[in-house]
Amino acid sequence: MALKYRTRTNAITAAPLVVAVVLVGACSSREAPAGPPKPHVSVANPIVREVIDWDDYVGRFEAVQDVTVMPRVSGTITTIMFRNGQDVKAGDALFIIDPRPFRAVYDQAVADLSRARSTQANAKTVFERAQKLLSVQVLSKEEYDSREAALHAADADVGRAPFFALRSQSRRSPACR
């Protein structure tokens, strides 16, 4: 019981002391502490003008339709006759290919034809001479057959050479014709 009484006595004596401290602190003439200084703010007038929206994106674009152009002949392209995106029709010239290799093949075929014709003329002369020599029996039958075969081979070369000349001419670039 004595313990209870003492706790009450301490509480009763402490209460007026707390009230006195609060009243003394409230009655003081001190001002509240000053806050931080006011910040400096600059002001600008607005500019009136058109604003263009601009967005950057990472990615790639792909055409809805695309075409692969494959050449019919080989060679070095010297001129491109169209622009990307341009409509072209069947038969339009798309490229000009360097005509020099085609010209060389054509000239070679023409030279081969000339050589074949001169070989044919020579073989014909030799064969006619062989016929005369065979009739007087100065030439053997084997030599005669050999000269006749040479004439037939020369005739075949002349028959084949225009084909190669025309073929090489048809394969030439349009700029070469």
Sign, CA torsion 112/117/122/123: positive
pLDDT for 94-139, tens place per residue? 888 898 988 888 888 888 888 999 999 999 999 999 999 988 988 8
pTM of the model: 0.47
In sequence order, which residues have a C-beta less than 8 Å from that of residue 149 and are 6 or more positions away? none
β-strand partners of 79: 96
Average pLDDT over the chain, rounded to an integer = 80
Q: Taking every pair of C-alpha atoms in the chain, what is the biggest distance, in angstroms?
A: 177
For residue 30, what pLDDT is reported?
Answer: 62
In sequence order, which residues have a C-beta less than 8 Å from that of residue 87 and are 6 or more positions away? none
Structural domains of the chain ordered from first start: 99-176 (1.10.287.470)
Burial class (CB in 10 A: 0-12, 13-18, 19+), 133: middle
pLDDT for 5-35, tens place per residue? 555 566 666 677 777 666 666 555 566 677 8
pLDDT for 36-60, tens place per residue? 888 888 888 888 999 888 888 888 8
Cβ neighbours of 102 (radius 10 Å):
20
